[in-house]
Amino acid sequence: MSGRSPWLLVCLLAVCLPAAGADVPAARLMVKPLLCVTERESDVCSMNFDIRWKSTIAAEYCLNDSAQSTPLYCWARALTGTHSHKREVKEAFIYWLGAPGGAQRAAEVKIEVLRLDSADRRRDRRMRHVWDVL
């Protein structure tokens, strides 16, 4: 039994003590717009994102783009924040809010891409069935 005690202590410490940077308070992140619609001629959306966040605990937050390694913007001990981000969108990505230098996400919003043109042009076949009027 005594042989297990050091391991038990390690386990308890691991559970009870938060890892550095993992204590980012939860927040609410709102982004508009959320969808990019592309087609053959224009497969990139030029979008102006209106990004807002709110938290109940004032803390340092950084706004991140999953497609970039560095934060877009950081706020010092704030409860709310707004940011405008102009971006060209070709693939789905995620805006996320976290502590500076941390990987834990307080909130995230996915920006989706809908491609109207398919690599398989057979999917654009037009039917003429009685029920098919779309």
Residue closer to other proteins (CB basis): 11 or 37: 37
- Which residues sit at the interface with other proteins, rule CB under 8 A? 33-35, 37-42, 44, 62-63, 65, 67-68, 70-78, 80-93, 112, 114-134
Which residue is it, tokens 């990019």? 36
Query: Considering the complex, what minimum distance in angstroms separates the CB of residue 126 from other proteins?
Result: 6
Provide CB contacts within 8 A for 68, sequence distance 6+. Answer: none
Residue closer to other proteins (CB basis): 10 or 110: 110
Query: Considering the complex, what minimum distance in angstroms separates the CB of residue 75 from other proteins?
Result: 6
Query: Considering the complex, what minimum distance in angstroms separates the CB of residue 19 from other proteins?
Result: 23
C-beta neighbour count of 97 within 10 angstroms: 25
Residue closer to other proteins (CB basis): 65 or 108: 65
3-state secondary structure of 122: helix
Provide CB contacts within 8 A for 12, sequence distance 6+. Answer: none
Which residue is it, tokens 């050091």? 6
Query: Considering the complex, what minimum distance in angstroms separates the CB of residue 50 from other proteins?
Result: 10
Provide CB contacts within 8 A for 133, sequence distance 6+. Answer: none
- Helix (H), strand (E) counts: the chain: 1, 6
Residue closer to other proteins (CB basis): 13 or 130: 130
